[in-house]
Structure 1
Amino acid sequence: MPKQLQLSHQQAVIRLREIRARLEELEQRDELTDEDERDFNELTTEFAEVDDHRRQLERRSALERVRAATQSSDRRPPALGVMPGTSVGSGYDADPILNPDSVEDRRFRNPWDLSEMRTFGRSKGEVTQELRSRALAAVEKMSGANDAVRAAGTDILERWDDADARIAKVCLATSGPEYLRAWAKVATGRGHMLAVEEQKALERAMSLTDTAGGYLVPFQLDPTVIITANGSRNQIREAARTVVATGDQWNGVSSSAVAWSWDAEATEVSDDSPTFAQPSIPVYKAQGFVPISIEALEDEANVTQEVAGLLSFGRDVLEAAAFVSGTGVGQPTGIVTALAGTSSVVTPTTAETFAAADVYKLDGALPARYRSGASWLANRAVYNLVRQFDTNGGSQLWERIGADVPAQLLGRPALESEDMDAAFDPAAAGDNHLAVYGDFSNYVIADRVGMTVEFIPHLVGPNRRPNGQRGWYAYYRVGADSVNDAAFRMLNVATAV
């Protein structure tokens, strides 16, 4: 049986509409190429087959209704396509061809088709639930994604989507096959070749952006999703707490240690309530550019996937520096910036000297409640200095457990960052932040799903003439900061002239 004859009634109707739109588009052209003629003939043949299939399904449905109506009066007709929790007579979520959509079971033949979705007379919570269910179904069905990307997309939706279903809306608008095809065309300078449905998909996605211009990266190619799925080359991101922001800033809740007390029987409990604070992390705009020659663009078989990988790599490199020393002004606040000048700074045992005692001092200065989940962060050059402290094996300072297990320092993971200070010069005055030690779940990275990309059709040289290159201009938003400085200790080997 041809694939199109396995369609449900609603899928058949949708396919007939798509074929009609494509035929009308071809009919409006002044001249048809041989390929267009073949396309026209194939579409008309397919239309006849799908239309016959639609009529057959309608006849079958009518016969089922006749059979149900003529059953014995003492037998209740079977409920067809009724969503759990709704009545038989409600008609909501019922499909006459026995192939129901189900919000609760996340079963949608086409989760991206929101024209099927009823909003009148339903509460905001019910609409949000269906949008999220459709988005989860879309993640399972979206093309161009592996299991890891699907798992990452599901996790982001289930953990971070808000009451307005903003992430779900972005997912539904940018993960569908029509949008993926449309984005691939506009990203390679073929925007004039968009079909009607592809143009509608682009317009729908553009309505979700904060500013006009540019196109959202497809959900399955978004660097936030890819980095979540494949891991980050930036080890701070691996250890930090990552959240997804849906607005201009992320708002959290933190508190001091919860105070408990021992009280006698039948006495009023004492006031042990902690003091709550609401840390907020603004998200900032980061931007990048990927140039490519016209020849490379024409020769690359899957340029959209390649560009998505380049954007993810460039984002990782940019963030690695910001998460260490970012100023917090127009960019994320780095962990070193957040801790500098606070009580979390630890001075060396001997001024202007870095020795084994300083490593132990840093470990001892961190409160025990943070020590169990603590990690080290330092430049590899600093770790190499630590390895040289114990030349005789006496203190067993540095630990390695197997070739495939990450190195540990005093039994805690040793994370590397090239942006941490690598050395210090006693002859030059200044601060030298050699190591950070603490529970990095208290350093929060707020990602905002939705990278936007604009295609630049021609790059120009110094004389303002085209140089045979095209490019992609991309921008996204991210923020980061420490929400609890007490969870960290930072070694500062300050020097003075």
Structure 2
Amino acid sequence: MTMKSALLGDYSRLAALAAFGAIQLGSIRMDAPVLADLEARVVEINAALDAFRVRAEAGEDLTDEETAEIEESAGELEKLTKKIKALKLLAPQGQGRRSAPEARTEPGGGGPRRTVPAEPRQDAQRMGFRSFGDFAQTVQNHYRGNVTDSVIRLRNAATTFGNEGVGADGGFLIPPSFSSAIWTKVNGIESLLSRCTPLLTDGNSLTIPKDEVTPWDTTKGVQVYWEGEGQQTPQSKGLFEMGQLRLSKLSGLVPISEEMLQDASGLESWLMAKAPQKMTSKINTAIIAGTGAGQPLGIIPGYSAVGASVIQVSKETSQPADTVWFANINKMWGRMYAGWRSNAIWLVNQDVEPQLEGMAFVGNGLTPTAASSTPVYLPPGGLNDAPYARLKGRPVVPIEACAALGDLGDIILVDLSQYWALTKAGGAIQTDTSIHLFFDQALTAFRFIFRVNGQPAWSAPIARQNGSNTLSWAVTLEAR
């Protein structure tokens, strides 16, 4: 019997009973399995519509067949909602769908009948399955490729979610009466994205024309000439290249039980602050070491080799491992293009700072310490005033995304205005919540999406007019 015919049968039975007065309406009990099936179908339709919604918000085009399926699902959802409402109206108060079945009685061996306590329903823990046998059969159908409604529910079940039952998963966050705040180990971190050149797009990508011809290049691009009176000036034209950026998606999905949201009053505000911090850290790492595959292209892709337009200076002969010398700093400064120095910063791993604080200038600048040395690195106002120290007059910014001391990328001199950062118009993190995605598990899903991409503006270092060394917007020190 189909669900539709079963429902029609229930309606006919109720109408007949009422017409003939065979029983009182107050004694009619709703068929709980029928109502449960209807509500389960509503959950499945909402999950399918949420999946389409996620794709649409990501900019993906839907086919005509998918559009028709959405319309059909919406119509079915409306009909099911009406049926569920009608069935609940027919059930007298206190006799509708019950959270626990009534107690059962058994004969007591000739004596009074013994009452057997009813077991409470565990829908949330069972993920909507009526029994272990139902669950086992669903798993079997999944591996045989038989896609049933139960299989779809199993595949959509949350695998990782915060709950009160396990302390580390969130139970520890339920505050006592004297505290509703959640302490965090790290409150805020430096955002490299804010230092980059911002680009916005209403679509999914952006093409940027760029001119990489230097003013002193005499072979290509616009040219000027010294000419005598009456001489014809040679013609020239601009030389442009195209840089293209396509948005990548950085996202997070955090399901949290309804009990946690109700009992931990500071949880939602904590999550709204925690997710952006996680995204900032991920973006910082991508700007420094992103591979460019589904994420921004970094200065040192994968921490293994510098990018095409980045310069790597060599260490000094016999320089000990895990050290930074003043000679290294001089070399790096000398390879930064002079026009970009005024906006450059030093990105360092925090373990590099003790190397800088012991650095001194002596004679040829190679020896790191000596009795008659002059300190190289001093914070503004001296050693007793160190909110932001400076090296060669430029700020030193410790950041966790830099490589470990001694590895490639532990210290980088960079002008981040020469790095393109493309974001979706509006530039904000998209935050959504849904109670439908894991409705049968009583979870609220928090979703965070930020569409961003980035890459260096230039494809190669700058060739000099006079001199053999090339210059760049980003310079780093080789591994030691």
* Greater RCO (CA < 8 Å, at least 6 residues apart): 2
Report the TM-score range of the alignment, normalised by the length of the smaller protein: 0.3 to 0.5
In the superposition, the TM-score normalised over structure 1's length comes to 0.46
Rg larger for:
2
Q: TM-score, normalised by structure 2?
A: 0.47
